[in-house]
Structure formats: C-alpha cells, structure tokens
Amino acid sequence: MHETTVMLIELGAVILGLGLVGRFAGRIGMSPIPLYLLGGLAFGRGGVFPLSATENFIEVGAEIGVLLLLLLLGLEYTAAELVTSLKTQYPSGIVDFLLNATPGALAGLLLGWGPAGVLALAGVTWISSSGVIAKVLTDLRRLGNRETPVILGVLVMEDLSMAVYLPLLSAILAGAGLAGGSVTLLVALGTVGAVLYVALRHGRFISRAVSSDTPEMLLLVVLGLTLLVAGVAQRLQVSAAVGAFLVGIALSGETATSARALLTPLRDLFAAVFFVFFGLSTRPAEIPPVLVPALLLAVVTIVTKVLTGWYAARRAGVNRRGRLRAGGALVARGEFSIVIAGLAVSVEPDVGPLATAYVLLLVIAGPLAARWTEPAVDALRALLTRGRREQEDGSPPAGAASGAGGDSGKGADSGEGAASGTLRH
C-alpha cells in the first residue's frame, strides 16, 4: 500500500479515536488527558497497534500543540494582570515552588538522575494543570467563591514562572555550563521584562498592527507570528514555548479575544496530538517499574499542594473551608508536566515513564481532591474529636464501641452535608 495512503488511514484513525475518547471523557466528567496518554501508549512502540507512517507528522503536530497551549495561555492574561499577580502573590508563589518542586527534585536525586532529570522532575511535580483546574471549578460551580481568585493567582504565578524555568531547563538540556545557563536565564528575564513593559505601555499599538477585520487574516498573522517568534526564541535558547507565551501576553483587547476564539479549536486538536505523541514515545513495559515511585510522589505532592492552597487562601483572609477547597483544587497535574517531561526525555529517558504514570494518577485524583478534600477533613476532625471526648469521659470499651457505632450514621450525614454544601458553592 502507498505510504501516503497508510499515513491518511493511520492519521484518520488516531484523530477519530481522540474524538471518541474525548466524548467519553466528557460524559463521565473527567479530563481527556489520561485517555489521550493511554491512546498514545496503545499506538506507540511496544503497544497494541504501533503506527508506522504518521509518527513524523505527529511529532511536528505535537510541537505545534505545545506552542498553541502556551500562546492561548498568554492570551488569557493581560500584562497588567501579570504584574499585579507578581506584586500580590509572590509569597504564595515561593511557597508553592518550595513545597512542590522539592519532592520532585529529591526523588530525582534518589533515583540517581543527573541535573537535567532532577530539574525536569521538579517542574513536573511543581506545576498544576490550569486546564483541568478551570474545568473542575466550573463543574463544581465555584467560580464565584472567595477562594477562587487565590487559586487563579497561584496558577498565574506558576504560568509566569514557566517563562524563566523553561529557558533554564533548555540550557541545561543543551549541555550549557553554569556560565551558559546564567546567560540564558538573564536573557529570559530581560525578554520577559521587556515584553511586559511593551505590552503595558504600547500593547494597543501591537494589537492594532496584528488586528484584522477578516478572521482568516487574523488567524494567519497570529499563528505565523507565533511560529516565527518561537523559532527565534529556540535559536536563542530561550525556549520556543516561552516565545509563544510572550506573543500571547503582547496581544490584548478585542484582538486577543478574537484570536483566542479562532485558535482554541486548533489548540485542542494539536494539544491532543501532543499528548498522543508523548504516549507514543513511551513504551508500555516501562510504566509498571515506576508505578510505586509515581504513587509515592503523587501522595506527597497531593499533601503539599493542599498546604499551598491553605497558605495562599489564609493570606487572603479566606475561612478554613475555603482554604481546604483551594488546596484540593490545586492538586491536578496535566499538560505542563507532560510538556516539561517531553523536553527532558532526550537526556533522561526515565523521566517519560515516571511523568506519564504520575500525571495519569493526578489528573484523575485532582478532580476528586477538589471535590472531597473539605468533607474528608471534616469527617476526620469529627472522628478525632469524638475519640478525644470518649477518652476524657472515661467511657468503658463496650460503651465506647456502641457509641461509635451509633454515631457512625451521624458522621456520614455530616460528610454528605459538607459534600453537598461544597457542590452548591
């Protein structure tokens, strides 16, 4: 069979499969990311249906998917919003980094990885999934809750930190020494600062130059500009993804709104291709050996993210229940953890399987944590309080046992009430 024919059949099957699993994920109320990753594992090396003709095409599509993810992320924010977040949320951002990057870095050291692998795994465990979290907040009807601006503030700090982290990671992956890495970091900081300044002072002129009354022209100009800037950024070792992010920041107003509407379907398509490609590059047989480290890392970083949300919400004066909701909402990891791991696999191949298993666990556990962290903690507090009262009363064991049994229904009712209250909010 002709190679082009095989490529069309394989590509059509992959995209159709993505559409079907995405529809299934939507019906059961979960993120499609883990299903895309599993699909990639099934079609990859050592999978059930390995692809032969489309891998190069999918690889290019995956690169475009990363750029569109970062471009659309930049379009979500104005330069003024980013500067405000820097001024008000930097303590929470520092705590977030220390609590959540440290477990990944320590795990990388314990596994005997080099500097690139350690830095990559730190990023994998640090960055929450903005896409998954936004969907969860919408589904749980929490967009109007007092803790939601705190959650978004932490996410903005993480996203902005990527503009510094990704160039540093790219420099280390390229084998740059301390001097080279320092230069790359300074260039990245200078570039981000310059873009923020220009966007604040002259953003309307940039948007006016890019704007067009014809959707087709606007799409071509924004997409072409993004690819061009990303290529130049990659050439300067600042990271192509950061270049795309900065293009998004530079656009504002109606231009940004129109570009976001036009590019969102393209982003969804190529981002799905990216997740499939990451799965394609991971052998299924490599997953079982890393399941235990991934599970341990997931448990630790669930706790650290809850603590991060608690701290950030407390700074904002949010009550105890809101702090728990903030912490639970931040648990999910997803697209950017995979982006970081995808950059590092060429130098540290073991990052891929571990990151895949880790993201599969937390992209599923994240929505559950957002929904159940508050009622679970309430139930635990009630249980501990009841046990303490029984000890203080000096009740005999039989009475204590019967009391515990009689109160179990009340405990369940309390948990259900808390859960229903959470859903209402």
Q: How far apart are CA 307 and CA 96, in angstroms?
A: 9
* Closest-CA residue to 64 (of 355, 273, 236): 273
Class of domain 55-263+285-374: mainly alpha
Q: List the chain pLDDT tens, one digit each, 425 residues.
A: 567 888 888 888 888 988 998 898 888 877 788 888 888 888 766 666 677 667 778 888 888 988 898 888 888 877 777 778 778 888 999 999 999 999 999 999 999 998 889 999 999 999 998 878 877 887 788 878 888 888 988 988 888 888 788 888 888 887 766 666 677 778 777 877 787 778 777 777 888 888 888 899 999 999 999 999 888 887 776 678 878 888 888 888 888 899 999 999 998 888 888 888 878 877 888 889 999 999 999 999 999 999 999 999 999 899 988 999 999 999 999 888 888 988 888 888 889 899 989 998 998 888 888 888 878 887 878 887 887 777 777 655 544 444 444 444 434 343 434 333 433 33
Domain ranges (residues) in the chain? 55-263+285-374, 377-424
Q: What are the b/e assignments for 282-302, b being 16+ CB within 10 Å? A: bebebbeebeebbeebbebbb
Q: How far apart are CA 139 and CA 149, in angstroms?
A: 16
pLDDT at residue 416, rounded to an integer? 38
- HSE-up of residue 163 (Cα within 13 Å, Cβ side): 26
List Cβ<8 Å contacts ≥24 apart for 83-89.
Answer: 83/196, 83/200, 85/153, 85/156, 85/157, 85/160, 86/157, 86/160, 88/153, 89/153, 89/154, 89/156, 89/157, 89/312
What would the DSSP string read from start to end of 210-234? H--SSHHHHHHHHHHHHHHHHHHHH
Alpha-carbon torsion, ordered 266, 270, 272, 273, to 10 deg: 150
Q: What is the rounded end-to-end Cα distance, in angstroms, of the chain?
A: 57
User: Which pTM value belongs to this model?
Assistant: 0.74
Contact, 94 vs 265, CB < 8 A?
no
Q: Which two tokens stand for residue 376?
A: 């679970």
Q: Which two tokens stand for residue 391?
A: 């000890």
